[in-house]
Structure 1
């Protein structure tokens, strides 16, 4: 059975330098404006396809409740973000859909490790040939670039793309695994969380030998997250253990205290290694 084609993310790059977006939001709404922006990015990360549809009353009410604000304030902040190019203005004004192209662009490193491609802007076919809003580089990553939709259409072999452009071959499918459906679902959670994605077949064999239940799966994934901030080997991918080796060594049982393997605990606050496309804001 093939791996699910997941289009969600468990992290996004949070650039800590000052930015115009954060300044304007804080100036207008204080800490509520700051919290709104980053809670919105978190919501987009965990939403399938990285967009959020506010067209229904129920979904809109959830967004307002999540942001812990009133509807009028939420509308004002989203309108400002659209005007600044932080979210797609056309999608927001015409369909009440929240889409942040710069966030998706800056998740390219994560999607380069998956068989599932990064999602494309919803309804891009309807908006093809029209200019996208361009904002300054933001806390979420790169700016939204012009012509993104038409390039996406070329990749899918859309005849409205470049003349004579041959469609790109679909991604190569992995061989079926020996895991049961339940095992594979649990393994997929571990695989998405583990930063080094190499030798998946060996990792699946190691996972099958452990055959963890839901509780142990949660413990393993939590240990991975702790390693990304507490284990010096996880600072660079080349030093990070292969997933099969990490599992076979039962390293989720390690104690990550003040020192790790003879070295002091290091790393940042989130363990994220930004992609090459992650740029500083002007």
Structure 2
């Protein structure tokens, strides 16, 4: 399914908020490219910004942020899905299921091996990709 120009524009409009919130200000163009490649909709943008806000206190602040990943790396690796040290993962929907459980996987690693993530888990059912829901 192709995205409309309005959806693309809405996706790009979320980048300044993400970059402003990200603690390490290097590689802005690479981060923008990663954002465009990810093309997050409003829901995923909310998830990303929420995860960033929750993870920010736990990011390595030693040596002037030397060990904080670049924003592009954080996006490309899908690190918004990382668990917060000492935190309890929150369900993505009102049913109380994690995104990977809602997609029909028994463990998050199974979902990741099938290239399922929080941004596309609705395209999966019973641990298999639903071709009619898959985007190009």
TM-score by length of 2: 0.52
- State how far apart, in whole Å, the 2-side matches of 1:226 and 1:247 are: 15
Aligned length: 79
Q: What residue number does 1:257 align with?
A: 85
Structure 1: gaps of 5 or more residues: 1-179, 260-282
Return the alpha-carbon distance in structure 1 between the equivalents of residues 85 and 9 of structure 2: 36
Aligned position for 2:68: 240
- Matched residues in 1 for 2:19 and 2:13: separation? 10
User: What pairs up with 1:95-134 in 2 under 5 angstroms?
Assistant: none
Q: Which residue does 2:93 correspond to in 1?
A: none
* Residues 220, 252 of structure 1: 8 Å contact kept: yes
The higher relative CO (CA closer than 8 Å, separation ≥ 6) is in 2
Q: Is the 8 A contact 1:187 1:207 kept in 2?
A: yes
**3-state secondary structure, aligned to 1:240:** coil
Structure label with greater radius of gyration? 1
Counterpart pick for 1:225 among 37, 40, 53? 53
Give the distance between the partners of 1:242 and 1:225, measured in 2 at CA: 16
Task: Provide the residue aligned with 1:181 in structure 2.
Answer: 9
Alpha-carbon shift at residue 251 of structure 1 (Å): 0.2
Q: Show the 5 A alignment for 1:33-182.
A: 180-182=8-10
- Look up the match of 2:33: 205
Counterparts of 1:229 and 1:223, CA distance in 2: 11
Q: Is the 8 A contact 2:10 2:42 kept in 1?
A: no
Which stretches of structure 1, 4 residues or longer, exceed 4 Å deviation after superposition? none
What SS does the aligned partner of 1:257 have?
A: coil
Matched, 1:191 2:19: yes
Quote the RMSD (CA, aligned, Å).
1.8
Alignment partners' CA distance in 2, 1:187 and 1:244: 12
Unaligned runs of 5+ residues in structure 2 are 1-7, 88-136
